[in-house]
């Protein structure tokens, strides 16, 4: 860079910093979460006054990214102006919502695949039972029923879809 470019860069940085002011962060403990306001009240670890109403979402939109810290955990609070601060880092997260929460929690794909394999196995066993069942004339289906029970009794595991949703991460 030549001397003229350096001077111009210095002038621009000074002009911008005069408008924005000094930005800094404090490590704080989360005291309270206000769901309606999308803010937290925090206590700085340097024992200065509590900071109330620190934003955890950008603006008033509920269709972006919402990260809710655990009450009692630690966060980095960054001051973006003299009177406005945001949570910029989290030590523990209670929930995350991506573009809302109307579609529920994200799917735990490995658990879903495991449960679908169980369903597939059960269907294959049922297919084999029907295909390989024997019948006897004039017994009212007793032999067929007996054969099917024996084949189906080998399939003891049943699917359970209760744990495929990660309720800590929602999306919309």
What is the residue-wise DSSP string for 84-147?
Answer: -EEEEEESSEEEEEES-STT-EEE-HHHHHHHHHHHHHHHHHHHHHHHH----TTSTTHHHHHH
Cα–Cα nearest to 169, from 103, 105, 100, 107: 105
Provide the CATH number for the domain around residue 31.
2.40.50
Residues 25 and 91 in one domain: yes
Within-domain flag for 45 = yes
Q: How far apart are CA 49 and CA 132, in angstroms?
A: 77
Average pLDDT value for the chain: 83
**Lowest-confidence range among 37-41, 65-69, 162-166?**
162-166
pLDDT of residue 15: 63
pLDDT of residue 53: 93
Tell me the average pLDDT across 136-164: 82
Tell me the average pLDDT across 87-102: 88
152 pLDDT more than 90: no
Within-domain flag for 138 = yes
Tell me the average pLDDT across 156-167: 83
User: Which are the contacts of 142, defined by CB distance < 8 A and separation ≥ 6?
Assistant: 136
- For the ranges 46-55, 75-84, 135-144, the maximum mean pLDDT occurs at 46-55
Within-domain flag for 9 = no
Residues 88 and 109 in one domain: no
Q: Which tens digit of pLDDT belongs to each residue from 8-62?
A: 667 766 665 655 567 789 999 999 999 888 899 999 999 999 999 999 986 666 6
Within-domain flag for 145 = yes
pLDDT of residue 32: 96
Within-domain flag for 79 = yes
Total domain count, the chain: 2
Domain that holds residue 113: 105-167
pTM of the prediction?
0.60
Residue that terminates a domain, selected from 54, 77, 98: 98
Tell me the average pLDDT across 94-111: 85
């Amino acid at each position: 860079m030549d001397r003229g470019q350096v001077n111009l860069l210095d002038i621009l940085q000074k002009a911008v910093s005069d408008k924005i002011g000094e930005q800094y962060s404090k490590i704080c403990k989360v005291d309270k979460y206000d769901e309606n306001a999308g803010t937290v009240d925090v206590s700085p670890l340097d024992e200065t006054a509590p900071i109330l109403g620190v934003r955890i979402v950008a603006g008033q939109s509920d269709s972006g990214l919402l990260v809710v810290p655990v009450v009692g955990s630690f966060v980095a609070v960054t001051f973006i102006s003299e009177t406005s601060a945001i949570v910029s880092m989290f030590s523990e997260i209670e929930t995350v919502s991506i573009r809302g929460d109307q579609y529920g929690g994200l799917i735990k794909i490995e658990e879903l695949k495991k449960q679908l394999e169980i369903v597939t196995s059960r269907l294959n066993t049922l297919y084999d039972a029907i295909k390989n069942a024997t019948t006897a004339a004039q017994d009212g289906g007793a032999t067929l029923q007996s054969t099917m029970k024996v084949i189906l009794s080998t399939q003891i595991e049943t699917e359970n879809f209760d744990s495929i949703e990660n309720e800590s991460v929602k999306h919309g």
